[in-house]
Every structure is written in structure tokens, then in C-alpha cells.
Amino acid sequence: MSLKSLLLAAATLSSTLPAAAAEPAPQIHYRTADIQDVNVFYREAGPADAPAVLLLHGFGASSHMFRDLIPVLAQRYRVIAPDLPGFGQTTVKQGVAFDYTFDNVATVIDAFTVEKGLDRYAIYVFDYGAPVGWRLAVANPQKITAIVSQNGNAYEEGLSEGWADMRKAWDAPTPENREALRRFNTPDMIKWQYTEGVRDTTLIAPESYQLASAAIARIGVEPQMDLLLDYGSNLRQYPQLHDFFRQYQPPTLAIWGKNDPFFIPAGAEAYKRDNPKAEVRFLDTGHFAIETHGGEIATRMLEFLDRNIAR
């Protein structure tokens, strides 16, 4: 084939490729910030002057769960995903006694958003990230531009029977009831939370749950035990959260793995009670929906944000 023919073929091929394929993916930066004796690890990408999106992970995870979502969002948004205290690469300074409660975790993340200059931002909340995000929203309603909840519960009817042992420990926090929660932190149980309710488990990268288990082994299981025991405090704050929904009516997308063994579909539908314009979408997968349906979540999230966030 002649050079002219090669050039013509290359030009034809490039014209048929999607625009995104011809553009390099935004680079992700891996950084840390010292916040109130906590060294917060976070991932950041996207234009510094673009609307901000804060991604908050949950139990059995870290900002690693957003590894594929961040490059997609960062094409049009400034994206920041911290590891919560007790998770991933975030560490408490040596010699500092950190009290692992949701109030304290939220206080650190709130101060982190100030440090990062997030005066206005959307939040993506998942699992434990939800009660952290809810505290930020209630305390700073003027800062929240939109909410994406991926299996991030906000209503008591969203809790399945799988919370029975936790409820028992909340009502009677005895050493025996606390000890009964330890099994939720084992490698087998962490893996189960990724695979339960998933139609095709070969879609789940094993390093996702392996990294989560490794972090628990490195940081220690007691912070996780403390947070499980403190989760009942989130339910007591639901009335304040529902007041926030009713008063401010934030644009909300609840996109939910409908086979979640912990947060059931009723919890997603409940968003419409206090915010009738909330959008609810169900995916045929489990708790970690982003692991199996990340592409669909990214597409719907971009469309939702583009409709609701002014530039």
C-alpha cells in the first residue's frame, strides 16, 4: 500500500472513532492533606475551574471504587474523592486518639472541603459515605448543588433485615453484642458484600475487595467496629435530613443496585416522599453497583449533572 493510501485509511479511521476515543483521559492526581491530625488521602482530576463533585465511598471500600468513574466525570467536572478516616490510605497521626464516629468523620471531611476550596459542590454518596454526606448537607445546605445516591440510605425503610445484629448492638452496646459484629470485617464477608446479588460475579475485579480487606488488616478492625456500633446515630439524624430535602429540594438521583442485601429498594423510592422531583433508577445488581454497572452509572450521572448544575 502506498503512503498516500495509508494516510487516507488513517484519516478515514480517525473520522469514524468516537470523539472521546481520540482524546486522552484526564490524569488523576493522588494527594494528601493534613486535616485535624488526619492525613487525608484523596484522588483529584478535572479542570480546577469546573463545577466540583465530591465522591464519598462506603464500608469495605475506599476512593479506589471510583477509579473508572473519575476519568469520565473529570472531562467536564472537578472531581475529588477522599478516603474516609479508617479507610484506604488515610491515616491518623501517630499518638493521636481519633474517636471513630460518623460525627467525627464528617467533621474531618467538612474541613477537607474547606481546605480544597469547595464552596459549591455536588455529592456522590455510597453506603457510609451517605451519613457523612448528609451531615455536610445539613450543616452547609447552600453548598450542595446536587446529590447522587448509589445505595446511600436516607430512610429507615431502606434498612433490610440484615441489620438485625447491628440494631441489637445499638440498643444494648454490650461487649457480647459488639463482638457479634466482628464477622462483618472478615475477608470472606467483605467479598460477600461485593458478590451478593450480582448476576455475573466475573465482572467484579478481585482487587476491589482484597484492597478493602488489606486496609482493615493494616489500620485495625476496631475503628470498623466503632463505626458499625455508631451507625445507629445516623437514623436519629434522619428527621434533620428530611427537613433539608423538603426545604431545599436538591436535584437528586438515586441509582440503586436493587439486589443489595443491606439497603433495599424501598430506601431509594423513599427519596420521592420529601423531594418529589427525585429521580430513581434501579440496576439489576448488588450493593457495589459501580463495580458491575459503572458505565451506566457514569452515563446517567453525567446526564443528570449536566441538566442540573449551572456552569
Q: Which of 157, 159, 155 is nearest to 271 (CA)?
A: 155
Is position 287 annotated as part of the catalytic site?
A: yes
3-state secondary structure (DSSP) of residue 152: coil
User: Which are the contacts of 56, defined by CB distance < 8 A and separation ≥ 6?
Assistant: 81, 82, 84, 109, 123, 124, 125, 126, 128, 129, 130, 132, 133
Q: What does DSSP assign to residue 159?
A: B
Residue 79's DSSP bridge partners are 45, 53
State CA 28 to chain mean position distance.
17
Contact assessment for residue 93 and residue 159, using Cβ atoms and an 8 Å cutoff: no
Question: 233-240: long-range contacts (C-beta < 8 A, 24 or more apart)?
Answer: 233/101, 233/102, 233/103, 234/102, 234/130, 234/131, 234/134, 235/156, 237/131, 237/134, 237/135, 237/138, 238/154, 238/155, 238/156, 240/138
Q: What does DSSP assign to residue 93?
A: P
Residue 54's DSSP bridge partners are 80, 123
Of the residues 57, 64, 287, 293, only one is catalytic, namely: 287
Q: What does DSSP assign to residue 158?
A: G
Contact assessment for residue 291 and residue 194, using Cβ atoms and an 8 Å cutoff: yes
Cite the active site residues: 287
